Structure formats: C-alpha cells, structure tokens
Copies of this chain bind each other. A is one copy, B any other.
Amino acid sequence: MAKRPHVVIVGAGFGGLAASRALRHVDVDVTIVDRNNYHLFQPLLYQVASGLLDPSAIASPVRTIVRRSPNVDVLRAEVTSVDVAKQQVKTSTGTLDYDYLIIATGSVTDYFGNQDARMHSTGLKDLSEALALRSRLLGCFERASLTTDSAARRRLLTFAVVGAGPTGVEYSGAVAELIKHVLPKDYRRIDFAEVSVVLIEAGERVLATFAPRLSRLATRSLERKGVRFILGESVRAVDDHGLVLDGGERIETTNVVWTAGVRATTPPDFAADALGRAGRVKVTQSLHLSNHPEVFVIGDAAAAEQAGAVLPMLAPVAIQGGKYVGGVIAARLTGTSISPFRYHDKGTMATVGRGAAVAQIGPVRINGLVGWFIWIFIHLLYLVGFRNRALALWSWAWNYFFWDRPVRLIIAPSADGQSSPPTAGPGR
C-alpha cells in the first residue's frame, strides 16, 4: 500500500482548523503544528483582558477539537524553518516531511519598528498578554489607592489604547465599563474623576473599515462610557511613564495597550521574496505560492487578492481559505481542478460595550441592542464546543444583568511551577 500524502498545517487558528476539517474525509494524513496546545478564539480576547471571561471559555485544546478526525495528528512545537525545496518543516521537536503544506500562522502585533513602543506597551493578541493586561490594570488600581502623589496616581489611572480598530474599540469599551460600573465599588478610596481611558487613533475616525455612520455611533457610545478620543495623531514614543504624540503632546500613563497594527507572522525566512505589505505572503488565486503549488498560505498570513484588493485580516477570510485549500488538495488527489478562491464577505462587526454593537452585513448597517444580539449569536456560532458557548452566554447574561466583570484576579506568573520560599502572606 502506498503511503498516503502528508499534509502539514502550521497554525491551529481559524484557517488551520478549517483546512483540517475539510481534509477529514480525504485520503491524506494531516499534522497540525502549533506552539500552543489550544485553539484561541481571538475575537473575544479582550473579554479575558477586561475580566469578563476565563481563558478556558475562549481556548480549546486542539487535540480535543480534532478528536473525531482519525487522520489528523497534532504537534505542539515551534516551527523554526521551512525548506520548500526539500519539502520539509523544521520544528523545535524535529523535522516533518510534507507533500502539501498549509501556512496558517496568523498575525502578531505590529509596532512598526518602534522598539520603545514594543518595550513599554502590551499587545492584545494572545492569552498571556490578555492575562497580563488584566493583572496590570488591577495592579494599577491597587497601587493608586495607596499613592498620595497625585501626579503618580493619575499616571497609574490613565489607560491609553493605541489604535481604534475593532480590538482597540472593544477593549476600551470593556475597560470603560469595568471602570464605570465595577471598580468604584471595590476601590472606595479612589476618586474616579482621576481615572481615564484614552483611545488614540492615527486615522480620522474609529473603526475605519466600517461605514462612517457606524463609526459615529461607536464614538458616541464610547464617549458616553467616558472614553476620551485623540484622532488623527499617531504615537511617536512610549516610555515607562507615558507616551508622546506626533503633535508633541505628552500623556502620562503607565498603561499603554497597543492595538494599532498587526503584521503576518510566517516561519523565519519563509517565502522571503514573496512578502507583501504587513509581511503577508503573496499567493496565487488558488492560495498557493506561485512557484510551489504544494505550498498554500491562508488567513492573515496570506496577501490574497480579489477584485484588485488584498483581502482583510478577518476570521471569515481564514476560515473560507482553509476550507478552500482543503478542497484544492482533495481535488488534486483525484486529478480534477477547482476554480479560484472566492471570498464571500459575511460582514464585520464590533461591540462597543454591554448591550451595543455595530454591524455591517452587505448593504445593511445595524447598531445598538439588535447589533449586540446578532454579535452574540455570530460569536456563539463560531466558538468551539457546547461548553464554551454555554460559558460565554452565561458570562454575557451575567454582565448584562449585573453590570459585572467578575474575573478580577491578579495572578503572578510562576516561571517554573516550583514553590517559592515560604514567606508571610496569604491565609489558607
């Protein structure tokens, strides 16, 4: 019996999982490689960072997701290089030979080369960052409640968010609600007039990819929650005590969250001659490298063009790309061909806090409570598994009825899991 073709998928995000699902009943062996053992539902990461959800509500073990796909194996490893000539993927735990390769490595925070920004701010792209942001925000309130120096206190209580795309808007809305409705009950000594959330955007409006009317609605909704806007200004420098805008204004803050940009993250030296804007890999209309039809790139990592424009970095693009590429591989095995990839725009949406969202579905523009219900419905649909759906729904109901964000834990990371020496402190 001939060995079955081996498909290696790098990345267990939306795209990688969709590809593996499409290959479930195809006569191939599939290996999914990811550095984490879980699939992360990134669109809800800001809910972990703002104390509404526990990590397990938005992260599911990859092995569990592919349980019913007997031809799919999972490897938790870091990809160190790809040799497209030899058809090999080198990882931290060994080398994999492939017949087909699907690069679905997604994107990371882009600091646009600003090393200070990278050093002194936190992105919001993975679980560690979300947990660190939660601890940091609460830690600032703890420190502020003890500080008598009013300048230092204001610095601790100023939360700057750079970038007003969906992540920046959703995170600042959630933080504004945490500050308005929850924390005043816990921090009675703090004068909440000293607390502020500032959303800084280089463009002229928030949610630039949405219709102007929805941008205005989102702005107004955030303003009502107390978010201050600085539009048309980019951040020139960030340090330990604040940031400086291009116009020269300085904002004193110890909390800078950077959501101003993302760039593709591909294996080192992979397709170096085909990298386009934001590090995305240029692909053919069938989503493979032009000189390597067996190497596909999908999702955020790919610069797939359609009607003269590069497709956006959105989950549906990755999902549809993964499904398509699975179909291409299946077709190749049977010697048939398949028409070029066509992305069907299902619309985009963003929450602007409890009970309000903006959505743009084809020509339809929706906002307010109706938008929020659609937003909840769509997100439940894409969350993996019954348990996570139930947990998310429960948390949204909890937030809606009690205005609460209950996961307010400052958890110090323990580097190695070994015990720290006994010192005085917590009770039993």
By the criterion CB–CB under 8 Å, are A67 and B128 in contact?
Answer: no
B423/A78 in contact, CB under 8 A: yes
Q: How far is the CA of A37 from the CA of B135 in the complex (A)?
A: 10
Separation in Å of the A197 CB from the closest CB of chain B?
Answer: 18
B contact residues around A423 at 8 Å (CB): 78, 265, 268
Which residues in window 258-305 of A have CB below 8 A to B?
258, 263, 265-268, 270, 299-300
- Whether A133 is near chain B, meaning CB under 8 Å from some CB there, is yes
Residue A393, interface by CB 8 Å = no
Nearest CB on B from A364, distance (A): 26
The interface stretch among A220-228, A347-355, A373-381, A402-410 is A402-410
Contact A14 B428 (CB under 8 A): yes
Interface: A10 (CB within 8 A): yes
Q: How far is the CA of A40 from the CA of B409 in the complex (A)?
A: 10
Tell me if A417 and B185 are in contact (CB < 8 A): no
A422 to B263 CA separation, bound complex (whole angstroms)? 9
Known: A122-B419, A414-B131. A425 touches B56 (CB 8 A): no
Residues of chain B lying within 8 A (CB to CB) of residue A120: 418
Q: Is the CB–CB distance between B105 and A13 below 8 Å?
A: no
- Which A residues form the contact surface with B (CB < 8 A)? 10-17, 34-40, 42, 54-57, 59, 61, 63-64, 67, 73, 75-76, 78-80, 93-94, 104-109, 111, 118-123, 125-129, 131-133, 135-136, 138, 142, 146, 185-187, 189, 258, 263, 265-268, 270, 299-300, 313, 315, 318, 387, 390, 394, 398, 406-419, 422-428
Closest 9 pairs (CB-CB, A-B): A13-B427, A132-B417, A11-B427, A413-B413, A106-B428, A128-B414, A35-B425, A54-B54, A63-B186
